Amino acid sequence: MSIQGKHIVIGICGSIAAYKITSLIRLLVKAEASVQVIMSPDAKDFVTPLTIATLSKNPVLSDYFEHSNGLWNNHVELGLKADLMLIAPATANTLSKMASGGCDNLLLATYLSAKCPVYFAPAMDLDMWKHPSTQHNISILQGYGNTMIAPNSGELASGLNGQGRLAEPDEILQSIRDFFTDNRVLQGKKALVSAGPTHEPIDPVRFIGNHSSGKMGFAIAEILHRLGAEVTLVSGPTSLDTPPGVVRKDVTTAQQMLDTCNKYFDAAEIIVMSAAVADYTPVNPEEQKIKKKSDSIEISLKKTIDILAFLGERKASKQTLVGFALETNNELPNALEKLKRKNLDYIVLNSMQDKGAGFSGDTNKVTIIANDGQVQHYELKSKKEVAADIAAVIIKHQEIITSL
């Protein structure tokens, strides 16, 4: 199913990022969607209604009553007519009002009247985005069933650099396309994905880590969301942008990753643990930077909790649990041993011996092993293609579980 003929209501809020929505409107109209734009009063300070009306081919609405022609803009009708409502850029102010049921303009009244799915794409400065009240409001909105198109990281209008940058128009368009596709086979499912490395502190400036980029896990989170799942991504330190629509939880250490994964595990039907978690962590991290006074240094290490084995012990019958094994020798026997010992449904094996596989790159070559002993080998592919292969295996397993 395409977006052709779909009626999409876009609510534009008062943000410097409002200019990006002009490009989105062009893309939607080109795809033959019907676009009706509602602007908050402050939005008109950033982009003109004339520009939006010209691009959308529809009059822009902002007030309940049009003094020029005496017509009333019926917010109930606007909300009922829409196949999808998108609020972008969604400011901290509007998110707060949406979460609390505020209704002091036409945009908010239409949101409260909407019976269709509602997507929102936040845009604000770094500190505003990180503020607990903003994050709380986002959690409330997601609890209502709304879908967030997460902001990107990058240079912000304030000059700061960090998360809060409105998702790009093509990313927002893809999220809308994904909603209207027939291939949302994981609709209603919750997924938990871990990605990236962990950093175990030695002192305030040094850590034990690895070369994981997080690319594989981020690709998996993205494809699961595109297939309809509600995805929580637990990420170690990485510079990657959050995939649109995915809820991201940042962690640093193995213990933090364990605690966060444990928090979301029980509610998830799909769990993919692709993070490269440190096996050991310093026993006593120094509170001050270690000075270079001697030719050698000894650091006592202790084992971290095996997150995958810990979750495997608690795995329920409704859940599909997928782990990863990066091996350098005896690849298949080692992977099989991990599969059984950790009570996994599948393990994804990749070898450091395979050219183009492993950390940091954009490609991977994997073997997927099922707990019934079936082994499926795949050729070298992009990590996004590998993610699609893994998702196909998960879909099949979930269908089997559901039929039992």
Is residue 31 within 8 A of residue 2, CB to CB? The reply is yes
Burial of 42 from C-beta contacts in 10 A (0-12 / 13-18 / 19+): middle
State the DSSP code for 152.
E
Residue 210 annotated among the catalytic residues of the structure: yes
Tokens 């599969």 sit on residue: 339
Q: Can the peptide bond before residue 197 be classed as cis, meaning omega within 30 degrees of 0?
A: no
Question: Exposed (0-12), middle (13-18) or buried (19+): which is 297, by Cβ within 10 Å?
Answer: exposed
Catalytic residue among 73, 210, 262, 371: 210
Q: Cβ distance 1 to 181 under 8 Å?
A: yes
8 Å CB contact between 171 and 148: no
* Cα distance between residue 368 and residue 347, in whole Å: 6
End-to-end CA distance of the chain: 30
Alpha-carbon span 2 to 181, nearest angstrom = 6
Q: Which residues are catalytic?
A: 210
